[in-house]
Chains A and B, each alone.
Chain A
Amino acid sequence: MAYINIDHLTKDYGKGRGIFDVSLEINKGEIYGFVGINGAGKTTTIRHMMGFLKPDEGNVLIKGIDATKNSAEVKRHVSYIPGEINFPGNSTGEVFLKDQIYLSGRGSWEHAKELSSLFQLDVTANVHSMSKGMKQKTAIVSAFASDADILIMDEPSTGLDPLMRDVFLDLLKQEKEKGKTIFMSSHIFQEVEEVCDRVAVIRQGKIIDITDMKDIRYNKNKTYRMEFKSREDFERFLSLGYQIGQVKAEDLQVFAQIHDEDINRLIQDLKSFDLVYFKEIKVSFENYITEIFKGED
């Protein structure tokens, strides 16, 4: 059984809003990305995982515990960064962090201090006078300092500058190495591509795709684009039996899909051709998503 099991989760707010039949399985030790545009249902799904919302149908099991019926028990294993951050109380970041460590019964102030200096966070500031970025950093420090097995985060990198985002992504990788399971929503594709093991795409409340990032990152089938100088060469290449994608006959251009095992053969073959250019077409996660959305429309 998966570490986190979201099973046919449905919450219908009417007029097509809500989430419908969402099923996800998140394994121990993976970083799971959850991607979608604003209003797609990311936050609604996460609120169900935290037990804040009660599903119309389906359920969420975290470590086998029902997240709705037994949400307090679930939180023995979970840390959370909400999408919209506002801290309780009216004192300093330090007081807040210590309170959270005390309330959750996990983690240590020492760890929180280390994380604070990592993020260059001033914990002596009042939680209400903090800037958006500071609040975000405080929330991140709080979530990681509490040393939970599972981290559930709703767009955790919003408000961070690029430098801090890198620090954050590095931290995610380290936590993953420690065996933590991380579920994060995001609409920034680069960061998802950089850290996530798997990504689910949600659109209008429905899961439209679940991708293993290895398939994108370490895709052994690569696409090469080439243009030939003469029509004979162009015709001859097409007859060689490579897997051909797109063909632009008038420009004498070919998109060939070549498995890494066949790359040497291709290079040998190409020696006898007169080429204008030859290049690999990079498949980024962003392109991939765009393609998926195009397909949906």
Chain B
Amino acid sequence: MKILVLLKQVPDSDEVKLNPETGTMIREGVGTVINPLDLHALETALRIKETGDHSVTVVSMGPPAAEEAVREAIAMGADRAVLLTDRKFAGADTWATSMALARFAEKEGPFDLILAGEKATDGETGQVGPETGAMLGIPVATYVSRIAELDESGITIEREVEDGKEIWKLPLPSLVSVTKDVNEPRLPTLNGKKLARNASVERIGNDFLELDPSEIGLKGSPTRVVRIGTPKLSRKVEMYEGSSIRDGIDEIKKRLAPYLEVNHE
């Protein structure tokens, strides 16, 4: 079975600072890692690999600097790591990113199973998985918390949704995006790290994907960020401090009083 895992590289800290004057992200000193939620997708693939004759390819789109994050996947046990990188891909939104990933999956496929994380910890859209699946014309299951069964006839999964738990059987190929409940990702082994150091990350550009310029990068992206701002402060706070704390507590008490459980005895 051929398995493809979609990875994104993200800043390795959730404490990204902003330049207060320009409103832009301060990237200096912020490394990149594989999106932590994608590690659960990779782990899912690696556990499948351990059960038989399966191969795991990971693919990411990003600048050349993303190579280090992708290499980490080899240290964990992936067979092949691919970075879609090309100046022409720059500025891609989720649509254009999915387009490139879907084209890669088509050209290098067919893959029997495509795995993705729930969302990236930076953009938090969770859109690339389902968009890629729709572009490939295959079934998609999101919020998957357990892989129950997998064989040639398909994959049986559990999804956690607002009103309960669903169990689905999907045919192959399908795209499955997993939550962090699906497993506990392994750490890279020392051996794996050695292997990764010498392994090459394949770089693929649009020469290979042959997408129309209107479908890639900023030009291929329907959305535009038009304004960036810091969240606005909309309240005027009344502060209680030191000797006035008592008044503050009384104020909360007054607000909560209507909700007190009434004793009907």
User: Are these two chains actual partners, yes or no?
Assistant: no
Q: Which residues of B contact A (CB under 8 A)?
A: none
